[in-house]
Structure 1
């Protein structure tokens, strides 16, 4: 992550973060992707019918704490995750980046996304919106919360997410 000299997060800064993150995830450079996250980062995929739900009171598709997220990455990078062996190929498009709130050391940014997953002879498309809570750590903006809200009515074909959205 590049050091940002501005006092608050700009749209250009947020765009660089989203684009860098998408590239790392598409290239399955998950250990490098983890370095974009704060030590207390959360990865959330809320229920399809309640994108603004609270993970403490609703059943999320994914609600990973730092320990769970590290375990997820280790499984994805190893051979034990049968759903991702061989691993999916993905391609992300991130657009309409905007800064929702910006302070000196914390910010919230959002972007629309489309993720194509190619695996087992089939292609699936996931469309939605990212909302990231960012925190400045040693001059870099890191992701403290990553919320991927899907616009889909149902997860098809298997009703599960086997990769990091």
Structure 2
């Protein structure tokens, strides 16, 4: 067992857990501070294909496809009275698992894959949302810490049973 690999995996697990906590506690400014200026944040639309044809998601249609500027607009809007889809804010719980470090260069870059399950409830609604999928994240080391430079979230469902996607994955 390579202790360096174990410590690296632990470091990124903690990063992802801290990120989930910030989002679940609706600390959007704290969360946005984890983003790198080169950010690409994408969730392609999942599609059904015949047989084993891959990829089984659209390469040109996205539920969201943000960069740092559009992400800043989304975050700032959620802090206003005009974010009707999130009034009152959703109650969420993010469960992060199966964290795997695929590529790592110390204090430079990393690629990390993880699974995500989001439980979401709204106001007094008795129904809840479950959104699950796999994330592939790319990190860059900047200002003495790891920052998210790319997130590709591949949702498991082809049809999301949610009223909106005003939350972050």
Do they fold alike, i.e. is TM over 0.5? Answer: yes
TM-score normalised by the chain length of structure 2: 0.84
Secondary structure of the corresponding residue to residue 113 of structure 1: strand
- Deviations 1:58-116 (CA, angstroms, capped at 9, x unpaired): 11101011110000001112110111011101001101111011123111001111101
1:161 paired to 2:159: no
- Decide which of 101, 112, 115 is 2:115's aligned counterpart: 112
1:129 paired to 2:131: no
Structure 2 counterpart of 1:101: 103
Structure 1 counterpart of 2:150: 145
- Decide which of 22, 26, 29 is 1:28's aligned counterpart: 26
- Decide which of 56, 72, 75 is 1:73's aligned counterpart: 75
Evaluate the alpha carbon distance shift between residue 66 and residue 154 of structure 1 in structure 2; reply closer, same or farther with a 3 A threshold: same
Question: Is the Cα–Cα contact under 8 Å of residues 130 and 148 in structure 1 kept in the other structure?
Answer: yes
* TM-fit CA distance, 1:51: 6.5
Structure 2 counterpart of 1:3: none
Question: Is the Cα–Cα contact under 8 Å of residues 46 and 57 in structure 2 kept in the other structure?
Answer: no
Partner Cα distance (2:134, 2:95) in 1? 11
Secondary structure of the corresponding residue to residue 73 of structure 2: helix
Runs ≥4 in structure 1, deviation > 3 angstroms? 50-54
Secondary structure of the corresponding residue to residue 89 of structure 2: coil
* TM-fit CA distance, 1:157: 4.0
| TM-align CA RMSD | 1.9
TM-score normalised by the chain length of structure 1: 0.86
Greater relative CO, 1 or 2 (CA 8 Å, sep 6+): 1
Partner Cα distance (1:51, 1:71) in 2? 30
Higher strand share: 2
Structure 1 counterpart of 2:35: 37
